[in-house]
């Protein structure tokens, strides 16, 4: 219990350069309060005390603006920065050393039953406003950009941005359909290529016209 509390506080110092003292962190970080309330709610939920668990979770939501379903599984050293507007679904699983910013939803699509929320790997950053929807996994060390809407599996070591979310970096290398700035199309060269093609086809036509027709004359 105390080991958990200590590592939760240390996670704040590791991730937030604005944190000044333990006293300040313990009393003013609503992300920490939500995680601590969740640990109690989750224990009750696992014992089958669903309503009590839910009451604690709702009270925590009222105080912090962070709604964590008591059934959600949360790993070590989760850091929730700012909080407010965060929703974490019942069957969501979160690994260790994850950072979640304000406005994140780890939810379902409304189409699934049973396991319907995402599984987040270790050391994942989920930017503000990002929505991760469905029962797929987000791999270890991946980054979800702020405001991304992620609807399918994310492998390890990836950066996903946009709506719908797509992988733009994997293992530190750019991937996907984004423009490669080193190979931007040059409009002048493109125009010359088109002109060259046009000249070639005109030349072929002229050659055809010059061919002698029956009777030994050329077409005029
Ligand atoms: C995604 C993020 C984690 C950076 O990850 P990264 O692996 O370092 O990625 P990069 O910064 O190299 O960006 C990769 C590409 O994605 C783009 N990108 C990054 N974040 C993006 C976003 N949220 N939406 C759209 N595109 C984004 C970058 O412009 C870059 O594009 P380019 O290669 O064409 O230049 C970061 O941009 C982010 O969104 N962090 C969340 C921070 C946050 O929510 N802060 C709130 C504080 S209150």
DSSP-based three-state secondary structure for 123? coil
Token digits for 198?
A: 């046009």
Residue with CA at minimum distance from ligand 1 atom 9: 159
- Model-level pTM greater than 0.85? no
Asked if residue 175 has pLDDT above 90, the reply is no
Please indicate whether residue 141, judged by its CB atom, sits closer than 6 Å to ligand 1: no
Please indicate whether residue 41, judged by its CB atom, sits closer than 6 Å to ligand 1: no
- Quick one: pLDDT at residue 170? 96
Q: What is the pLDDT of residues 29-49, one digit of tens each?
A: 999 999 999 999 999 999 999
Closest CA to 97 of 26, 7, 34, 2: 7
* Position in ligand 1 atom list of the atom nearest CA 178: 34
Q: What percent of the chain has pLDDT over 90?
A: 80
Asked if residue 126 has pLDDT above 60, the reply is yes
Residue with CA at minimum distance from ligand 1 atom 12: 169
Distance 149 CA to ligand 1 centre (A): 13
Asked if residue 37 lies in contact with residue 15, where contact means CB atoms within 8 angstroms, the answer is no
- Quick one: pLDDT at residue 105? 98
Residue with CA at minimum distance from ligand 1 atom 36: 145
**Residue pointed to by tokens 């002229």:** 206
Asked if residue 128 has pLDDT above 90, the reply is yes
Closest CA to 160 of 151, 172, 148, 176: 148
Q: What percent of the chain has pLDDT over 70?
A: 91
Please indicate whether residue 169, judged by its CB atom, sits closer than 6 Å to ligand 1: yes
Residue with CA at minimum distance from ligand 1 atom 24: 161
Asked if residue 11 has pLDDT above 90, the reply is yes
Split at pLDDT 50, 70, 90, the class of 214 is low
- Quick one: pLDDT at residue 67? 98
Q: What is the pLDDT of residues 48-72, one digit of tens each?
A: 999 999 999 999 999 999 999 999 9
Distance 126 CA to ligand 1 centre (A): 10
- Quick one: pLDDT at residue 110? 87
Distance 210 CA to ligand 1 centre (A): 62
Asked if residue 216 has pLDDT above 90, the reply is no
Distance 101 CA to ligand 1 centre (A): 13
Split at pLDDT 50, 70, 90, the class of 210 is confident
**Residue pointed to by tokens 């958990």:** 4
Report d(CA 176, CA 154) in Å as an integer.
13
Asked if residue 167 has pLDDT above 80, the reply is yes
Asked if residue 215 has pLDDT above 80, the reply is no
Asked if residue 107 lies in contact with residue 85, where contact means CB atoms within 8 angstroms, the answer is no
Please indicate whether residue 161, judged by its CB atom, sits closer than 6 Å to ligand 1: yes
Asked if residue 8 has pLDDT above 80, the reply is yes
Asked if residue 180 has pLDDT above 60, the reply is no
- Quick one: pLDDT at residue 193? 87
- Quick one: pLDDT at residue 213? 73
Distance 131 CA to ligand 1 centre (A): 15
């Amino acid at each position: 219990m105390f080991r958990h509390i200590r590592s939760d506080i240390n996670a704040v110092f590791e991730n937030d350069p604005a944190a000044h003292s333990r006293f300040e962190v313990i009393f003013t970080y609503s992300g920490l309060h939500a995680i601590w309330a969740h640990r109690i709610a989750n224990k009750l939920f696992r014992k089958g005390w669903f309503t009590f668990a839910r009451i604690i979770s709702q009270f925590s939501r009222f105080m912090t603006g962070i709604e964590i379903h008591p059934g959600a599984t949360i790993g070590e050293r989760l850091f929730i920065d700012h909080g407010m507007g965060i929703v974490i679904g019942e069957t969501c699983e979160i690994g260790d050393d994850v950072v979640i910013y304000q406005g994140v939803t780890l939810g379902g699509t409304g189409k699934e039953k049973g396991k319907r929320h995402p599984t987040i790997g270790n050391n994942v950053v989920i930017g503000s406003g990002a929505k991760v929807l469905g029962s797929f996994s987000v791999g270890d060390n991946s980054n979800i950009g702020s405001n991304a809407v992620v609807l399918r599996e994310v492998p390890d070591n990836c950066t996903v941005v946009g709506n719908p979310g797509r992988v733009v970096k994997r293992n530190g290398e750019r991937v996907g359909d984004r423009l490669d700035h080193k190979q931007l199309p040059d409009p002048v060269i493109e125009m010359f290529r088109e002109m060259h093609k046009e000249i070639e086809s005109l030349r072929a036509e002229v050659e055809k016209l010059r061919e002698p027709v029956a009777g030994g004359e050329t077409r005029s």
